[in-house]
């Protein structure tokens, strides 16, 4: 006698079992929009939408990329302003313009800071320290980012220590500045590498070591070149084998490229200015360059810096022309090759009797610039 063969049974709405049919999985219906079409966005889980928004926030190329998401619908607005998404915002996503500064923008940056965004900590710290003149709070915000190994914040704190910004001349701490600069250089910050190289060459805040300082300068050049080559094919087209002109030639336009890479016979675009430094430059340009007329405070002469003095004669000035002044040796070296070498008098005309000056090697070809230490 043969055993009975088992058959598959499925339950239908009538409650009876029908042999030979598969059981169907219950799927929730897709909600419809007001227009009558299906709304697939509401069927996506929140955690998946947040993951997509985090990716968008970290790759935004301008604030409009993020603002357009906030204006899409209430759900995206709510999820996009969650702490996890705000903590991933890229520097360009919070690149607010100085002419658009308002209390609502200030609150938004503060909200990003509370969410844990290091870029917001650094940007708002720079704005409060230099623009709003809230020194203590601005420095603490930059320190918060620096503790988490944010390289631009480490370098900015190093510049503050070198100059004693926000205090008196006696508040300078050269050793602390070198330590912060070394940490930022270890993280690959190009300006910190250049600053540390000049400090070692000059014996400024650290025992003098010319060969080691030159090694850091060459490393800064190499990192600049690597950044250009990795940016794409279009940037490579800027590379050239011809040496750019060293002096202004009548009826000819000088080649404007990255200052230090020109030492190796390359002409490439200058590195992009950080949004925080661009904000500082625009902020004081809108206000005539100073906090208020008659204060006598100066801006760093390097166009890509934007840092102002916090007291008179804080920055070092060129001892030959006495017109330009710089917050750091890195800014001095960049501006020397970019424009000031053409505007300033020849260095060889005044090299004697500079007892209070520190010699700074502007580049690897031995072009020296003397800046007076104030």
pTM: 0.75
Instruction: Report d(CA 65, CA 67) in Å as an integer.
Output: 6
Tell me the percentage of the chain whose pLDDT exceeds 90: 33
Question: For 288-319, how does the pLDDT look when each residue is reduced to its tens digit (9 = 90+)?
Answer: 744 543 477 888 988 889 999 998 889 888 87
Residue of 62 and 292 predicted with greater confidence = 62
Question: For 191-206, how does the pLDDT look when each residue is reduced to its tens digit (9 = 90+)?
Answer: 999 999 999 998 988 9
- Confidence (pLDDT) at 270: 66
Residue 31: pLDDT band (50, 70, 90) is low
Phi-psi label, residue 289: left if phi above 0, alpha if psi -120 to 50, beta otherwise: left
Instruction: Report d(CA 121, CA 371) in Å as an integer.
Output: 32
- 326-344 average pLDDT score: 83
- Confidence (pLDDT) at 224: 80
Answer yes or no: is pLDDT of 149 > 90. Answer: yes
Instruction: Report d(CA 237, CA 248) in Å as an integer.
Output: 24
Instruction: Report d(CA 178, CA 285) in Å as an integer.
Output: 30
- Confidence (pLDDT) at 19: 54
Question: For 99-136, how does the pLDDT look when each residue is reduced to its tens digit (9 = 90+)?
Answer: 989 999 999 999 999 999 999 999 999 999 999 999 99
CA dihedral sign, ordered 141, 142, 147, 149: positive
Residue 370: pLDDT band (50, 70, 90) is very low
Residues forming a β-bridge with 361: 368
Instruction: Report d(CA 62, CA 38) in Å as an integer.
Output: 31
- Largest pairwise CA distance in the chain: 121
Residue of 349 and 92 predicted with greater confidence = 92
- Show the 3-state SS of the chain: CCCCCCCCEEECCCCCEEECCCCCCCCCCCCECCCCCECCHHHCCHHHHHHHHHHHHHCCCCHHHHHHHHCCCHHHHHHHCCHHHHCCCCHHHHCCCHHHCCHHHHHHHHHHHHHCCHHHHHHHHHHHHHHCCCHHHHHHHHHHHHHCCCHHHHHHHHHHHHHCCCCCHHHCCHHHHHHHHHHHHHCCCHHHHHHHHHHHHHCCCCCCCHHHHHHHHHHHHHHHHHHHHCCCHHHHCCCCCCCCCCCCCCCCCCCCCCCCHHHHCCCCCCCCCCHHHHHHHHHHHHCCCCCCCCCCCCECCCCCCCCECCCCCCCEEECCCCCCEECCHHHHHHHHHHHHHHHCCCHHHCCCCCCCEEEEECCCCCCEEEEECC
- 354-362 average pLDDT score: 40
Residue 371: pLDDT band (50, 70, 90) is very low
Most confident among 145-149, 217-221, 352-356 (mean pLDDT):
145-149
- 253-270 average pLDDT score: 50
Burial category of 46 from C-beta neighbours within 10 Å (exposed 0-12, middle 13-18, buried 19 and up): exposed
Residue of 168 and 147 predicted with greater confidence = 147
Residue of 232 and 211 predicted with greater confidence = 211
Residue 147: pLDDT band (50, 70, 90) is very high
Quote the distance between the C-alpha of residue 307 and its chain's center.
14
- Confidence (pLDDT) at 37: 54
Answer yes or no: is pLDDT of 62 > 70. Answer: yes
Q: How many Cβ atoms from other residues are within 10 Å of residue 197's Cβ?
A: 28
Average per-residue pLDDT in the chain?
76
Residues forming a β-bridge with 32: 38
- 28-48 average pLDDT score: 66
- 79-103 average pLDDT score: 91
Instruction: Report d(CA 190, CA 234) in Å as an integer.
Output: 22
> Pairing between strand 325-326 and 357-361?
unpaired
- Confidence (pLDDT) at 20: 53
Residue 198: both structure tokens together: 């000049």
Least confident of 89-93, 161-165, 212-216, 229-233: 229-233
């Amino acid at each position: 006698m043969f055993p009975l063969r088992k058959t598959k049974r499925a339950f239908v709405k009538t409650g009876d079992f029908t042999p030979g049919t598969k059981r169907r999985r219950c799927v929730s219906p897709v909600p419809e929009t007001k227009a009558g079409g299906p709304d697939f966005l509401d069927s996506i889980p929140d955690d998946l939408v947040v993951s997509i928004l985090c990716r968008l926030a970290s790759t935004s190329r301008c604030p409009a990329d993020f603002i357009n998401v906030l204006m899409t619908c209430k759900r995206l607005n709510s999820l996009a302003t969650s702490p996890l998404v705000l903590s991933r915002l890229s520097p360009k996503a919070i690149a607010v313009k100085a002419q658009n500064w308002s209390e609502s923008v200030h609150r938004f940056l503060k909200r990003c800071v509370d969410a844990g965004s290091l870029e917001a900590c650094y940007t708002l710290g720079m704005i409060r320290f230099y623009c709003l003149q809230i020194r203590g709070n601005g420095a603490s915000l930059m320190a918060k980012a620096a503790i988490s190994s944010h390289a631009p914040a480490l370098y900015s704190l190093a510049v503050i220590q070198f100059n004693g910004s926000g205090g008196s001349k006696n508040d300078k701490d050269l050793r602390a500045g070198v330590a912060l600069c070394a940490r930022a250089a270890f993280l690959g910050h190009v300006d910190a590498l250049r600053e540390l190289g000049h400090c070692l060459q000059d014996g400024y805040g650290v025992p003098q070591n010319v060969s080691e300082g030159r090694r850091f300068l060459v490393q800064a050049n190499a990192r600049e070149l690597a950044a250009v080559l990795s940016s794409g094919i279009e940037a490579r087209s800027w590379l050239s084998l011809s040496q750019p002109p060293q002096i202004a030639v009548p009826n000819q336009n000088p080649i404007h490229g990255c200052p230090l890479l020109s030492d190796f016979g390359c002409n490439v675009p200058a590195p992009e200015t950080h949004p925080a430094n661009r904000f500082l430059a625009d902020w004081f340009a809108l206000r005539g360059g100073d906090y208020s007329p008659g204060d006598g405070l100066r801006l760093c002469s390097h166009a890509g810096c934007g840092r102002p003095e916090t007291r008179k004669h804080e920055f070092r000035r060129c001892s030959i022309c006495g017109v330009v002044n710089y917050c750091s040796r890195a800014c001095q070296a960049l501006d020397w090759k970019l424009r000031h070498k053409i505007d300033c008098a020849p260095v060889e005309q005044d090299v004697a009797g500079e007892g209070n000056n520190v010699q700074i090697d502007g580049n690897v070809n031995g072009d020296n610039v003397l800046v007076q230490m104030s």
